[in-house]
Structure 1
């Protein structure tokens, strides 16, 4: 299987700092590269991270505040300049189409035809169904904003002992996986569920600028990795609510409620100092999240956790 990981290209909020660039997150997934919220400077951050325009197959914008989209012109023009041959799907809130158009054609350049625009609207939108499902949910922010959830279909883990007991071997195993049932050498019909257990597919969610809302909880439900803003510490919860953001503790509550495996906190306000960083993790944990917590830093590579174990097979009979 190809690499699956998250490259953090930027982790600041509205104002970049000496150590944190504006937003940018590249999720690498089996040859696909989903670039979320490319803020100003993303093109340079990609170079520093060792990835190129050819690695991008999706551009997904949560909303049209500058720290989440001002990198679009550079990324698009680099896609054109480097002659990227494959389609690049650009997903963005339909209500901000005028901003997308300005960003997409911000300056004079030799354009490319590979950008496929996918405007989204409503409370929920299914953006793609293969080779993964990509779903967008509307969040709670002063401008229309969406979170994204990527899900791999569940698979199966074959059980060698059960296959052997039924005489299913060699090419018959592949046929059983593809067709769901085969005829064994002794003439019996063997069904896939007799010789396998379900293997849960991997899931990742991106929840950027938002207040606490049901959509944030729904996006995070059962995911392996949750990339979520933690713009403020808990003592600044009033500011968070005013500006439409989350605190570290609120991000931890969302992750705990969803049974998230790895929590990636990001989008930090410039008001906090480096020595404040441990407090973000402490407040997320104090809110009830007991899993792995990552404080995002620019150019970090965050691997997906190992696959969940396949579901135990129930024995038939008494």
Structure 2
């Protein structure tokens, strides 16, 4: 199976540092790529991370603040320079439409290489023709957050499936192409009778990845993170600056850990660190007091989606 992993392109918040670029995360999912929040400098970060413009199949903006969107024209123009002509779906809160229009007009060819998919409500993200937006077989959902401007989180949800049981298949003499027929049709006639798919398989829950960027503590963050195998979550402030989190519309690292724990997420990736923290080890420690499996994202590194349960 192709890799399911997070490629970290930027982990800073409003002000970049020498080691942390503005926001940017590429989720690789079964051969497809979802780029969330291409902040300023994303095109160069992609080059350094070994990510080509053709690896981006969908772009999603969580909100309109510059540290999350100013790299969009460059990413789209790079697609044009690489000879890519298919417009990439561009997802964003509908309230950000005026700014998105300006961004698409900021670079030659950018507007013609984006397929706007504005998000108006919680739920499925849809293409302009009304069909669900799918990334590598998984369906993209949006969840409203509580920030200083309209913002949303994104959930990539793999449909549930069936896991075939080799011992049960062998006991019924089913092998080779017959397995595929059984998976497609749900039933297979054999020499000993009809075998139903349920008899030789078990339920396999789909995997979920959630990206929760700028937000205060809110129910939307919990709903977005619910049951996620991988949760990418902002952790702008440490405990000592908790009084700044609420008015600025952000989470502390401890709150990010609490979101992961209460939502039942498996692996938490902290990101969007304030430039006031040259060392994010204390933020990582605070999040780990709330949740066991926590990673502090580092620019240009990769984080695997945990294997199926």
TM-score by length of 1: 0.91
- Counterpart CA distance in 2 for 1:112 and 1:208 is 25
- Counterpart CA distance in 2 for 1:42 and 1:139 is 24
Q: Are 2:154 and 1:144 equivalent residues in the alignment?
A: no
**Relative to 1, partners in 2 of residues 1:192 and 1:298: Cα closer, same or farther, differing over 3 Å?**
same
Residue of structure 1 aligned with 2:277, choices 269, 272, 275:
272
* Equivalent in the alignment of 1:303: 304
- Counterpart CA distance in 1 for 2:275 and 2:176 is 60
Unaligned runs of 5+ in 1: 309-318
Q: Are 2:183 and 1:180 equivalent residues in the alignment?
A: no
Q: Are 2:251 and 1:258 equivalent residues in the alignment?
A: no
Asked whether the equivalents of residues 104 and 110 of structure 2 are also in contact (C-alpha less than 8 Å), the reply is no
* Equivalent in the alignment of 1:48: 48
* Equivalent in the alignment of 2:129: none
- Counterpart CA distance in 2 for 1:273 and 1:192 is 55
Determine helix, strand or coil for the equivalent of 1:173: helix
Asked whether the equivalents of residues 80 and 112 of structure 1 are also in contact (C-alpha less than 8 Å), the reply is no
Length, aligned pairs only: 302
Asked whether the equivalents of residues 231 and 265 of structure 2 are also in contact (C-alpha less than 8 Å), the reply is yes
CA drift at 1:83: 1.4
- Counterpart CA distance in 2 for 1:106 and 1:85 is 18
Unaligned runs of 5+ in 2: 127-131
Determine helix, strand or coil for the equivalent of 2:95: helix
- Deviation by residue 1:39-92 (Cα, 9 ceiling, x = unmatched): 001011111111111111111000000000010111111111211144411001
Greater Rg over alpha carbons, structure? 1
CA drift at 1:249: 0.7
**Relative to 1, partners in 2 of residues 1:177 and 1:146: Cα closer, same or farther, differing over 3 Å?**
same
CA RMSD, Structure 1 to Structure 2 (Å): 1.5
Q: Are 2:76 and 1:70 equivalent residues in the alignment?
A: no
CA drift at 1:11: 0.3
- Counterpart CA distance in 2 for 1:123 and 1:86 is 27
- Counterpart CA distance in 1 for 2:95 and 2:237 is 27
CA drift at 1:297: 1.2
Determine helix, strand or coil for the equivalent of 1:302: strand
CA drift at 1:110: 4.2
* Equivalent in the alignment of 1:314: none
Which moves more between the two structures, 189-198 or 166-175?
166-175
- Counterpart CA distance in 2 for 1:99 and 1:112 is 13
Determine helix, strand or coil for the equivalent of 2:125: strand
TM-score by length of 2: 0.94
* Equivalent in the alignment of 1:311: none
